[in-house]
A = this chain, B = another copy of it.
């Protein structure tokens, strides 16, 4: 069973925010935006909804250096991110060469079930102004 979630006001509100955003946002940031819009949603519910969307692979989660996990609506399939440190603006990138390199390095050292994490950070042209 594909576990179809109920269509509640809160879920609609959260997904609406995610549609508007084009960068990564933390649970607290999303909760704050909702409050400002007058669409009160409990923080627990924000976390639950985000986690459900991540499980459904509709969101990408990314743990920042400050310990906060940030979320963003992303395309399906394996890809990496080029993220602006200032504003969070994000470009999805693919690197077939990197994938192959990682797999071959792991195999060369006898490691199996290989996965990897790769994120690129920088300052985007807008934020440099």
Contacts and interface: CB of A to CB of B under 8 A. Distances in A.
A4 interface: no
Contacts of A112: 122-123, 125, 128
A116 B120 contact: yes
Counting chain A residues whose Cβ lies within 8 A of the other chain, the interface size class is 20 to 34
A117 B82 CA distance: 11
Nearest to A83: B111
A122 B98 contact: no
Interface of A: 63, 67, 82, 84-85, 91, 93, 95, 97-98, 101-102, 105-106, 109-125, 128
14 contacts: A63-B63, A85-B113, A98-B101, A98-B118, A102-B120, A106-B122, A109-B124, A110-B124, A111-B122, A112-B125, A112-B128, A115-B122, A116-B121, A117-B121
